[in-house]
Every structure is written in structure tokens, then in C-alpha cells.
């Protein structure tokens, strides 16, 4: 229950864990980049396998999202956004794992909406394969960030925005 002295900002910080109290052991930039590379390579390999399966089982015709030129740039763009988000998040939250878990679920659900939109006019199996591709990319990226570039330690004292950037 909020006390009379609790500000709206303090309630938002407590609810979202975006409290400007980063953990003491932040991942090095090289580890974050490595996590991104692992995510991109892993996701593109898994996507290619899923596309091959999807084409063999469900899409004898020409399903546009199964073209490498269609899914690869979007996969890379999404992973780069996630990696940048993680690099920022670990500097803004005492609970980055808590935040990124919820964000990953939310973003994945949002990214499935266009798949549902194209479902009526496309083979259901091909669209289902596309959905599995989205989920696979999310799992690979989430796992890579948390395993290759984890943030650990204790929450620091509250910092200022200027304190978020290490030079």
C-alpha cells in the first residue's frame, strides 16, 4: 500500500523495476556483442531448418515469408534491438532478468499478431511454421543474453542518468 509520501514515480519504479539501481556485475560490452552474434547465427540456422521443414510439409507454392531475404533482415533487426535493449536495461534496473523476461514475452506476442492477420489467406501450416520461427528466435535471443551476457551481483545505490554511462 503506497504511503502518502510515495510519489507516482516511485510506484512506477517499484512496479517496473526500472529503478536506476543497476547490479554490481554488469556484462562487458564484448559479452553483449557475443550474445548478439550467437543469437543471430543460432536464429538464422534454426530459421533455415524450420523453413526447409515448412516448405516440405506445408507450402508447395511460393510463400513469401519463407524467402531468406524476407526473414533474415527482420531477424537480425529484431535481435539487434533486443541486444541494445539488454545493454540499456542492465544499467537501469536492479532486476534486469525480471524485466527482460516480461518484455520478451510481450514482444513475442505482439510479433505474432501479423502472423494471425495473414492466416486466412495463406496455408495454415506455413503460417504456423512462421509462428514457430518467431518463438524460436525469442527463445534463442533470450537464452543467449542471459547465459552469455548475464548481469549479476547486488543492486547498487540509486544512480543518476549520468552514472549509467561508463567511459
To which residue does cell 551481483 refer? 153
Question: For every one of its 167 residues, what pLDDT tens digit does the chain have, with 9 covering 90 and above?
Answer: 555 556 877 777 777 777 777 777 889 999 999 999 999 999 999 999 999 999 999 876 788 999 999 999 999 999 999 999 999 999 888 889 999 999 999 999 999 999 999 999 999 999 999 999 999 999 999 999 999 999 887 666 665 554 554 43
**How many residues are given for the chain?**
167
What is the full DSSP assignment across 90-154?
TTT-S-HHHHHHHHHHHHHHHHHHHHHHHGGGS-HHHHHHHHHHHHHHHHHHHHHHHHHS--EEE
Signed CA dihedral, 78, 83, 87, 93: sign only? positive
Question: What is Dmax (Cα atoms) for the chain?
Answer: 64
Domain locations in the chain as residue ranges: 26-151
In this structure, what C-alpha cell is assigned to residue 117?
Answer: 492477420
Amino acid at each position: 500500500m503506497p504511503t502518502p509520501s510515495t510519489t507516482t514515480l516511485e510506484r512506477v519504479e517499484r512496479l517496473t523495476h526500472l529503478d536506476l539501481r543497476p547490479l554490481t556485475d554488469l556484462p562487458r560490452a564484448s559479452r553483449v556483442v557475443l550474445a548478439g552474434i550467437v543469437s543471430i547465427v543460432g536464429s538464422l540456422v534454426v530459421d533455415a531448418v524450420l523453413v526447409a521443414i515448412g516448405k516440405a510439409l506445408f507450402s508447395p507454392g511460393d510463400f513469401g515469408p519463407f524467402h531468406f531475404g524476407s526473414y533474415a533482415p527482420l531477424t537480425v533487426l529484431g535481435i539487434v534491438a533486443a541486444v541494445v535493449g539488454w545493454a540499456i536495461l542492465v544499467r537501469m534496473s536492479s532486476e534486469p532478468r525480471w524485466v527482460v523476461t516480461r518484455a520478451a514475452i510481450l514482444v513475442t506476442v505482439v510479433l505474432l499478431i501479423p502472423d494471425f492477420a495473414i492466416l486466412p489467406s495463406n496455408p495454415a501450416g506455413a503460417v504456423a511454421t512462421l509462428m514457430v520461427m518467431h518463438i524460436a528466435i525469442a527463445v534463442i535471443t533470450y537464452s543467449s543474453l542471459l547465459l552469455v551476457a548475464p548481469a549479476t551481483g547486488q543492486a547498487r545505490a540509486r544512480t543518476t542518468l549520468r552514472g549509467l554511462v561508463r567511459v
